[in-house]
Amino acid sequence: MLTLDMTFFLIAGPAVIFAGISKGGFGSGAAFAAASVLALVVEPGLALGVMLPLLMLIDVSTLKPYWRKWDSQAALLLIAGAIPGVALGAALYKVAEPDVFRVLIGAISVGFVVWQMAVRLGYVRAAAQTLSPAAGAFAGAVAGFTSFVSHAGGPPAAVYLLSKRLNKTEFQATTVLVFWIVNIAKFIPYAFLGMFTLQTGIANLVLAPFALFGAWLGVKAHMLVPERLFFAVTYVLLTVTGMKLIWDGVT
């Protein structure tokens, strides 16, 4: 059950702003941190249910600044792969216990940090050549699945998009378009799975201004704030929350 008390909103408000900044200006790479944080205080399914309409609101508010600045071919490949990934996530949700999703969200959070640090330290090298269309569709499938179970589709999509050597704005615009469509595709199965309730709807109404404010900040920050600083904060946040979720899930 979702309890809409002061503690919830003190945690959810900053988390939603953070998601808006990430989706609005930094390729959605860290937006799923909000769901990870919320899953510390509410059941994972409700955390995902609270966040999806807010993420969709952020998507709509950031489409205009990046309209038609995307790579259409890359976007179509990722979207085509993402739809089966969403279906797989929905099938897993129907049979899994909440603790499975705590562990999944936690593992994805920590795994994201480990991957990024490995790339930065040179242990893993980004693709030297553009990945094939098949690899793009596969990245889309992984993105669709991880997006469904934890709103964490950004990192798998980024692996493919980075190989395309897009400029910063093309990369951002492509992620905005892709996850606008992916989040729409997730809405119906989320509804059928009972992830939306009266309480999540009320939470959405209260948190909508936070989402819009975060999206506005993200678009502004796209040109002003160093990505290194933003993601340094993200890595710390995801590591702490991810480890806590894994601990809660296994114990």
Give the model's pLDDT for residue 88: 92
Q: How many CB atoms lie within 10 A of CB 15?
A: 27
Helix axes 168-192, 133-150, angle to 10 degrees: 50
Q: Could you state, in chain order, the average pLDDT of each consecutive group of 10 residues for the chain (251 residues)?
A: 78 87 68 76 84 90 85 92 93 79 74 75 63 85 87 77 76 87 94 90 93 87 67 67 74 69
| Whole-number pLDDT of residue 231 | 61
pLDDT number for residue 34:
78
Counting other chains too, the contacts that 11-17 makes at CB distance below 8 Å and 24 or more residues apart are 11/37, 11/38, 11/40, 11/41, 12/37, 12/38, 12/50, 12/203, 12/207, 12/210, 13/207, 13/210, 16/51, 16/54, 16/207, 16/210, 16/211, 16/214, 17/210, 17/211, 17/213, 17/214, 17/217
| 130 phi/psi in degrees, rounded to 5 | -60, 130
Burial string for 68-88 (b: 16+ CB within 10 Å, else e) reads: ebbbeebbbbbbebbeebbbe
pTM value is 0.77
* 175-to-146, 162, 247 alpha-carbon distances in Å: 15, 11, 31
Residue 37's pLDDT is: 80
Looking at residue 219, its pLDDT comes to 79
